[in-house]
Chains A and B, each alone.
Chain A
């Protein structure tokens, strides 16, 4: 028979075992041999501190009363964890870069390291968590009472409750306050919690398996015992379902103990990705057998049994004493792990945000750094832990036995959920301000207290039952459960709706109309853009101060302890290049020191202390802005902007160039077209007029007619030639020519050109002089095309090279693998300003038009040369005009 004494002995043995495990883990951590103690598995198991006694016992009770509703408490966290990439990952990164110590520290740090916000969130957390701690004590004592057969002694729930609280306080103080730096993490505690997580899961699974296959003969068997109305099939889904899912999702983020294990105790960001599915899997297993256990309890236990204790009473009723003992230890684990983590988290908040600021204010009148800060911190944490447990115990004594377990849990959830708007706003919205956060939090808190928390005492605390029934001052629209006449909802949904909506609206509204301070803006940027900030230069504002290194060392020594401070300062000095002595009090160093201290006393206190040494916070706005400008954040922003604007400027420049070219081309085309039409019109006009004369005049003599027809014929020829040239040019300019290049002797080409121009030359009596070298040069070209170029050049020389004794000199030489052939005349030459124009279409340098050329000769020649991989240029070897042809040698 499982006696009460055996049970107590088992509990004590279990606690001693936990002490040993925690002690062993601490020792390994000190020696730096953490190994698997720092693994994703341990991290995931420590998060399961979410599953408290409320879960262990209460979920079955909830299932017995409300059917499937209990799963909402696990679905919310599941949804948050599978969406880890968007919220938890960001919180974790912020927590690590800013060295956040608690949820209160997070909010305070985000809103300009505000001390007042830290106090508000801490108070909220304490008020919300005390009933929860009481709940755990209650669950342990009630589970003990199941086994109690005698009255008095430990069987009295008040006595056992006291001893449980005392042992928990001892454990938490021993392993939770070994050092003051929350960032050093509590390896002993976390390991013990992970072990407890295994115990509670194992216990619940064991009971569940026993129920399904021991009592119910399998799945179908156990469900066949279910009473038809148990599932409440028709109203499973409704406002309450959504509200509970939402609340539990919020709780996994905002509950102080969840923040502690998920964010503060995390030792490696990569562990989160494992926890993202492993923690939901843990919850899944924890809830899998809840409904079967509830069914079994209802079917085999006498009516009126407390469903919150089915986990224990079902195995007992079946005579499974070992299983009952295991179940008891599971429940015990759930309760103790919650209390331990919650008190650690809350004591950090209380000492950092309430005790430290008060103490600082007190000593600042005398001497800024007098007194042992480290000692004060440790003492305040230990006292806070004890005080919190006393508070929880008192709450348990005063309300003992009232209300079912789950109800108290949900009330606490909604209390801490008030942090949600300013938390989410703080990490996703840079415009959120401290004033907005304070307004939202304070009103949300008041509404929660009025509509849910105070009425839950049923008239025993502050609000009388008359007020709960009729509203404050008898005003019916102020009824706590029917605010503004909103009826038809369950009190929890009603309170959630009012408190969170008022909270969120005020938070956003006040944020929009208030102006954040400089520090708030900087912190806001650091939080919202945490993934953009490069590591190392991440956080904080340094104020140009008159601090001396000695003062800073004294401060660090008092908070971090001599060893840590010494190591920190030595390292900093070495980084700055000093072999001995203290580091210079540079901005960077002060900033990193402040970060170190933040890990111990929270952002607001660290900032206050360092500022105190620095001679107070009287900093000009200008200086603050300068500092802000220096932060990595802003630098990165401006770099990105610079980069982007540079790219934009380049693109714009290219576009402008392209546009200019297009405009120019358009203008050239217009000019070309008008030239062409002009050139075409001249022959057309004469053709038309002579044709009209022939047509209209009756008595044209045969001679005259003959002459007119000749003119018409020659003008037609000119027209044809002109069109040929235009076609030729456009073909050449398109660059699509495909000529066969072959070695061509220059003299052969020139002789062909001279032969072709013989008639023209003879009429002017021009002399042609050729250099001897020409005979030896061969070039890579197309013979006919090259001849066309020389014909054009020679005819031009003949036409324009007017002199007393006209002479054309043709010379050639080799240069750098190229052949240079000059065709020069001894005429008046080309004026320097005209040289660029000779290659323009239709430009005739003089008005003389000898051979009816349309002025396309030179442009065509140059296009030919370019298509032959050479060029045609005009040189100024006065006196005459000199055209130079360059071509690759064969």
Chain B
């Protein structure tokens, strides 16, 4: 039998994981649709590819990985 204290703690952590699900899209907006993006739109080539191109696609890729992780965590909670 679990202590109620423990259950409350679990519910709280679960709620927090759900709140974290909001952080991901906000982070995406911040990095890809605010002037933060302008910091990286410079005419520089890195590894033979232009910096803006690399930046957008790298951020995008990381977002997808995080979303995958998040989806698994949230699924487990269900």
Contacts and interface: CB of A to CB of B under 8 A. Distances in A.
A669 interface: no
Contact of A241 (B22, B26, B33, B72): B33
A68 interface: yes
9 contacts: A82-B66, A223-B49, A231-B43, A236-B41, A236-B52, A237-B41, A241-B33, A246-B33, A273-B75
Contacts of A637: none
Contact of A276 (B18, B29, B48, B71): B71
B61 A284 contact: yes
Contacts of A280: 60, 63-64, 67
Contacts of A221: 48
B74 interface: yes
A281 B29 CA distance: 17
A83 interface: yes
Interface string B36-78: 0110011101011110110011001101111110111011001
Contact of B68 (A228, A246, A277): A277
Given A226-B50, A228-B43, 11 more contacts: A75-B56, A78-B60, A82-B28, A85-B22, A223-B50, A231-B53, A233-B41, A237-B37, A273-B74, A277-B67, A280-B67
A83 B23 CA distance: 8
B4 interface: no
Nearest to A228: B43
Q: Which A-B residue pairs are the 10 nearest by beta carbons? A: A220-B48, A83-B25, A85-B21, A277-B67, A277-B68, A82-B67, A273-B71, A237-B38, A236-B41, A233-B43
A836 B33 CA distance: 81
A245 B57 CA distance: 15
Contacts of A236: 37-38, 41, 52
Given A78-B63, A85-B18, A284-B64, A237 B71 contact: no
A284 B41 contact: no
Contacts of B33: 75, 79, 241-242, 245-246
Q: Which bucket holds chain A's interface residue count?
A: 35 or more
A855 to B, nearest CB: 49
B14 to A, nearest CB: 12
B54 to A, nearest CB: 10
Contact of B28 (A78, A85, A291): A78
Contact of B57 (A223, A224, A284): A284
B47 A220 contact: yes
Contacts of B26: 83
A496 to B, nearest CB: 14
Interface of A: 68, 71, 75, 78-86, 218-221, 223-224, 226, 228, 231, 233-234, 236-237, 241-242, 245-246, 270, 273-274, 276-277, 280-281, 284, 288, 291
Nearest to A75: B32
B28 A277 contact: no
Binding site of A, secondary structure by majority: helix, strand, loop or mixed?
helix
A613 B21 CA distance: 47
Nearest to B37: A237
A231 B64 contact: no
B45 A223 contact: yes
A534 B18 CA distance: 20
Given A79-B28, A233-B42, A236-B38, A219 B63 contact: no
Contact of A71 (B29, B56, B68): B56
A273 B76 CA distance: 11
A166 B35 CA distance: 48
A514 B33 CA distance: 36
Contacts of A276: 67, 70-71
Contacts of A219: 47-49
Contact of B49 (A81, A85, A220): A220
Contacts of B63: 78, 82, 280
* Of A237, A281, A284, most B-chain CB atoms within 10 Å: A237
Contacts of B35: 237
Nearest to B78: A270
A68 B32 contact: no
Contacts of A281: 64
Contacts of A79: 25, 28-29, 32-33
B24 A83 contact: yes
Nearest to A82: B67
A246 B37 CA distance: 15
Contacts of B48: 218-221, 223-224
Contacts of B22: 83, 85-86
Contacts of B68: 277
A78 B61 CA distance: 11
Contacts of B28: 75, 78-79, 82-83
A230 B43 CA distance: 11
B64 A277 contact: yes
Contacts of A246: 33
Given A75-B33, A245-B32, A281-B64, A231 B25 contact: no
Given A68-B53, A273-B71, A284-B57, A82 B25 contact: yes
B78 to A, nearest CB: 7
B60 A284 contact: yes
A220 to B, nearest CB: 2
A59 to B, nearest CB: 14
Contacts of B45: 223
Nearest to B39: A237
A82 B29 CA distance: 11
B52 A233 contact: yes
A270 B75 contact: yes
A274 B75 CA distance: 9
A80 B41 contact: no
A86 B74 CA distance: 12
B74 A85 contact: yes
Contacts of A226: 50
